[in-house]
Amino acid sequence: MKRSLLIVAILLYFSLAGCVGVYYTALLVLKRSQPSQTWPGYHYALFKQPDFYTGLINADNQPVAEEKVFGGIVSHHFFVEKEIARFFLPLRKQQPKVVVIIGPNHFNAGHNAMLTTQYPYITPWGNLEPDLELSNKLAASGLITVEERPFEKEHSISALVSFVKYTFPDTKLIPIILKKNVSQARLDELVTQLDILLPKDSLVIASVDFSHHSNRVVADFHDEKSLATIQSFDFESLARLEIDSPSSIYATLRFLEKRGAQKTSYFKHLNSATFANNLSSEDVTSYLFAHFIKGKSTTNGAVSVLHFGDMIFNGVVGEMIKNKQDPFQKIAGVEGNFLRGMDAVVANLEGPIAVREQCFSSRPVNFAFSPLVPSLLARNRIGFVNMANNHRLDCGENGVIETQELLTKSHIQFFGNEELGAENYLVKKVADKSLVLLGINTFGMLPEKAQLFLGLIKNLKQRYDYVAVNVHWGVEYNTQPSQEQKDLAHALVDAGADVIIGHHPHVIQPLEIYKEKVIFYSLGNFVSSQNIPATKNGLAAGFIFNDAVKKFYLFPFENSNGSPKLLLYQKTKQFCDHFLKSVTTTEMCSFGL
């Protein structure tokens, strides 16, 4: 009874501690369960006791894979041990001569970017031996170094070896761990060597966990992009994903591509919040379990965008930047994960960036933001800014040029010009899809010019897949859109806009679904020093576009002393329940069209 309670307690801790916590918890148990004597020449499975592997020893009527599986993706988060067992057990009739596990080097240990071990792993079902012949050939190629110490605590391997030994009693193992800085060229060389050296019946597995340290809405949003990228073998997007080892996924998918195995026969996605029915968790890990068989991928990729409202870098925010403080730190979250994983993070740059602190203008309010802003945006992966707004010319035409030059130096892309032309929009290519980001400033815009914009949108929609229109409009601090906003929004949709993102009111305004297209009338402020209570509430809108569906996610946040921070679960739920009350079918802060 005590042992069962210990196991339950440890698994509960896994759900809270995440990946690295797995290793330290396992150490605690091992100290209690193994002799103090060390065994030179061996590594250990994460747990040596069969009691921990209930998904294996209590498995009933597990199906057998109907077609040969060439590789897969599996979690190393032991909290979902039963799901790991469900990944392996259907493969038990294959009995490959060699299993390759490719996973992250969590602790950045060792001297090389790609490492392997030649020690066997002690498991509850005997020793899982390395394939020394193949391992030596890989090492002789100079691509991989044999280093034992990093594997002493690397759970991306130790969490899975018992499942391998139980399912394939006679197989041999080649474990490979990758540092984050491994180059794509070296990964391609590794894949070429694996394809040459591995027997035809070999199994190559990526040991990878997905979204980390966020709530389940963020995890689902990030995972939508990750899953579409993997299913479509969109190699260009892999590096942007919010997963713990894009390199491991890249190498595995490239190998499967060489073997002609790009079709999924098993594809299961879940996260720790839903798995444990702990829906309010703020520290969620998500997982993918996938088998790949012969055949081509039949899935296209997806375009993923996270959109914010107004960025005003004066006042308190400006002082933070001068003092080398990051106003985005709180909303970015642990490891900056909230702002990772998308093809584009976009916001409205509400004014010019200039070397001088003040620009002289006849306007009652004019802005000139610090030249440190572009590098700040780049560090936080905010890579696209709209410049079509009423503060664009606060430093004159020279200020516009200076702003664009400073943004370009930090690789920040911009769009939104006062005149019609190429600078009004930019095109983001993602796999075989294209997204247009277009900026419109309605202030001072004559009706004839509005008609020209409608014509431009019609033309863009004919040439590209998706058109997202940023509109600077409305009345400051009004929480409801004006009739003029509604009329223009409908005209933009009629012309071909797929989604409309509004800004300028500095407060959140409602959304509208018009002809199956979404209009966000105002997202409010992103970063700002404004003190009116309503201006401290902001909204980020995430959207995923693919051939099958357009899906939208909402992320409400609150500004405190110039720094935005996502709301916690209960307040998030309350906001979304109210904000989405006009939408017929919704999930937690999300809906599809």
CATH number, domain at 59? 3.40.830.10
pLDDT at 63: 87
CA distance 394 to 349: 12
Please state, in angstroms and rounded to a whole number, the distance separating the CA atoms of residues 168 and 186: 30
pLDDT confidence of residue 298: 78
- How many domains does the chain divide into? 2
Q: Within this chain, do residues 205 and 307 fall inside the same structural domain, yes or no?
A: no
Structural domain of 127? 2-293
pLDDT of residue 98: 98
Instruction: Please indicate, yes or no, whether residues 252 and 311 belong to a single structural domain of this protein.
Output: no
Amino acid at 283: D
How buried is 206 (Cβ within 10 angstroms: 0-12 exposed, 13-18 middle, 19+ buried)?
Answer: buried
* Residue-level pLDDT at 431: 86
Q: What integer pLDDT is reported at residue 534 of this predicted model? A: 96
Q: What is the pLDDT of residue 247?
A: 98
CATH of the domain at 554: 3.60.21
State the number of CA atoms in the 13 A half-sphere of 212 facing the CB: 20
Asked whether residue 361 falls in the same domain as residue 226, the answer is no
Give the pLDDT score at 38: 39
Q: Are residues 281 and 330 in the same domain?
A: no
Cβ proximity of 267 and 226 under 8 Å: no
Instruction: Say if CB 479 and CB 509 are below 8 A apart.
Output: yes
- Percentage helix, strand, coil for the chain under 3-state DSSP, each rounded to 5: 35, 25, 40
Q: Is residue 288 located within the same domain as residue 408?
A: no
Whether residues 408 and 285 fall in one domain: no
Angstrom distance (rounded) from CA 483 to CA 491 = 12
Structure tokens at 480: 């409801």
pLDDT of residue 20: 52
The DSSP bridge pattern shows strands 413-415 and 425-430 to be unpaired
Q: Which of 293, 314, 348 is the last residue of a domain?
A: 293
CB 566 within 8 A of CB 331: yes
Q: Are 284 and 359 members of one domain?
A: no
Instruction: Give me the half-sphere count of Cα atoms (radius 13 Å) on the Cβ side of residue 340.
Output: 23
Instruction: Give strand pairing partners of 502.
Output: 471
Q: Is residue 78 part of a domain?
A: yes
Residues 269 and 411 in one domain: no
Helix (H, G, I), strand (E, B) or coil at 310: strand
Both 277 and 345 in one domain: the answer is: no
Regarding whether 288 and 310 lie in a shared domain, the answer is no
The residue from 263, 293, 323 where one domain ends is: 293
Residues of the chain with pLDDT under 70: 1-40, 356-358, 360-364, 418-422
Let me know if residue 298 belongs to a domain.
Answer: no
- pLDDT in the model for residue 363: 62
Q: Please tell me the predicted confidence (pLDDT) of residue 447.
A: 78
**Residues 539, 580 share a domain:** yes
160, 205 Cβ separation under 8 angstroms: yes
Q: List Cα–Cα distances, 539 to 9, 124, 306, in angstroms.
A: 38, 50, 11
Rounded to whole angstroms, the Cα distance separating 52 from 333 reads 33
Residues 257, 307 share a domain: no
